[in-house]
Chains A and B, each alone.
Chain A
Amino acid sequence: MLSADRLSVRFGSKTALADVSLDVPAQKIVSVIGRSACGKTTLLRAFNRTNEMIAGARTTGTARFHGTDLYGRTVDPVEVRRRIGMIFQRATPFPKSVFDNIAFGPRAGGFAGDLHELAEEVLTSAGLWADVAGDLDAPALALSAGQQQQLCIARTLAVRPDVLLMDEPTASLDPAATARIESLVHSLKATYTVVIATHDLSQAARLSDMTAFLDAGELVEYSPTATLFTNPRTRQAEEYVTGRTS
């Protein structure tokens, strides 16, 4: 459903992603693993066309969604982002109320339904409802770092995308919140397709159906998760998942 074909991203003269080709099957969870700066964020951002906001960024190759080239000349990047939602590595709540954070995306997309109902639904999904139900008008920046990340997940869900790109969504969460998010991701599988970048190998193993291992911008191995963690085809992947470094 979502696929990359020889997708490359360069920032100036630096290649962040080199000729990556992979297929994300519908209603599956794909995790992306690899060392820092290997290009995980860049790959996710390429699917949601947010790399192009970085000055000097150039994307080549194709990324397809239901067969449509996301970088086609006639494609509206705004629509791409409404269909393929992204949760960024660094939680960035808007400096507004919790409610306004949730309402921003749906309003931008012309949502005509009841925003309060929607807010309750997505905040519940993100495991934040109990914490903020009393005061949706509280400033989002007053939340803890973990709660802010949950809010960012909720506000992306509120746009109702088909695909969720999650960039290290649990990096700043406590174990309980992490467990909540993981079970959320698991339940999302029924309706969404999820791509999750993570440094937590056990999380990748627990959650995902497929795992992609990136190294220095290149896709080294893309296998079913069980295969990659128990019987990887490549030596680099084996070294990475077993914790040995070359």
Chain B
Amino acid sequence: MVARTVTRPLFLEGTGGPGARADRVARRVFLACAALTGGTAAVVLGVLAVGAAQFFAEAPAGGFFAGTTWAPFAEEPRFGVWPLVAATSRITIGAILVAAPLGLLSAVYLQHYAGRRTGAVVAAAVAALASVPTVVFGYVALNAATPLLRLVWPGAEAFNGASATLVVGLMIAPTVAFLGREALAAVPPAYFHAGMALGASRGRVVALVVAPAAARGIAAAVLLAMARAVGETMIVTMAAGSHAGLAWSPLEGVRTLTAFVAQTSLGDIAPDGPDFRAVAAVAALLFVVTYAMHAAGRALLARRPAGSAHP
């Protein structure tokens, strides 16, 4: 052994040992990064808050939330957001009615029925659909879904809620499938084996044993997909039209919250004009709703399914 003295000089005090400088620099750099992230979030929030505050200084909040006419740029402007909210709700609910069965059944297929090869092919198709930009879905809605719809219902308008709803459903189905599969996969395999050992069919076991154990994750999948549908902009901007009325027929055009923001901002809007204030108010509403839905979905995911192997 190399001879060494036990009583080396002590340099415990201070932070001058090897590597200490680099450590201090790194800490500052990372703190700066965190500050930048926080700053970005604060700026986004601040812009919306200021714009919305200015909006409500002019238009009474009661008219905004209860009014049924949205005509912000008319001579006598009306700021009832209800038609936009109704359009967003209808498209979201319609889309999840398409996406939930499609996505969840695909998840069941991938997790419990698919062979290795076919499973890989289907999973690849789902992943591919998930990575398609929404503007491309918008193109499909306009150039494929609407023409097909008009073959069946010639009365459908060129811009209508139905084809947008259908395509938004297709767009969010991969999200449901992916998160749904994760939820199913998190259920301890013992549940599945125990059910099968009782002689039930695979379908019965999945539906009555596995799915209830994964209920939380499945609910989260549906909620998070719905949040995406609420925030979806391009498909509705391109295919659903810009008519902000309370249309009842899905074959007529409707205008969602997101479509209003995108279509209005397309024109050159100045940050001190009335159109910007209306856009900011609607964007703030979108922010609050989607943020809450995302937070709720994540909270559901964070809690482990009952009886999970890992506490």
Contact = CB atoms under 8 A, between A and B. Distances in A.
Direct contact of A and B (CB under 8 A): yes
A162 interface: yes
Contact of A68 (B7, B12, B15, B16): B12
Given A72-B13, A74-B13, A109 B18 contact: yes
B12 A162 contact: no
Contacts of A137: none
A18 to B, nearest CB: 26
A74 B14 contact: yes
Given A66-B10, A74-B14, A83-B12, A108 B19 contact: yes
Contact of B17 (A66, A76, A193): A76
A78 interface: yes
Interface string B72-99: 0000000000000000000000000000
Interface residues of B, number: 19
B139 to A, nearest CB: 47
B1 A82 contact: no
Q: Is the interface of B mostly helix, strand, loop or mixed?
A: loop
Nearest to A188: B1
A183 interface: no
- Could you say which of B3, B10, B20 has the most chain A C-beta atoms within 10 Å of its C-beta? B10
B6 A26 contact: yes
A191 B18 contact: no
Contacts of B23: 78
Contacts of A68: 10, 12-13
Given A121-B2, A162-B6, A191-B1, A110 B18 contact: yes
A108 B2 CA distance: 20
A144 B20 CA distance: 35
Contacts of A83: 8, 10, 12
Nearest to A65: B12
Given A108-B19, A191-B6, A125 B11 contact: no
Contacts of B8: 83, 162
A193 B7 CA distance: 12
A110 B13 contact: no
A26 B18 CA distance: 26
B3 to A, nearest CB: 8
Interface string A155-190: 000001010000000000000000000000001001
A160 B11 CA distance: 15
Interface in A8-40: 26-27
A108 B6 contact: no
Nearest to B11: A79
Contact of B14 (A65, A76, A160, A191): A76
Interface in B164-218: none
A70 B14 CA distance: 12
A217 B20 CA distance: 34
B2 to A, nearest CB: 7
B117 interface: no
A78 B19 contact: yes
B19 A110 contact: yes
A75 B6 contact: no
A162 B16 CA distance: 19
B4 interface: yes
A160 B17 CA distance: 15
Given A68-B12, A72-B13, A187-B1, 11 more contacts: A27-B6, A66-B7, A66-B10, A68-B10, A68-B13, A75-B12, A76-B12, A83-B10, A121-B2, A125-B1, A193-B6
11 contacts: A66-B10, A70-B12, A72-B13, A76-B14, A78-B20, A79-B12, A109-B17, A109-B19, A110-B19, A191-B3, A193-B6
Interface of B: 1-4, 6-8, 10-20, 23
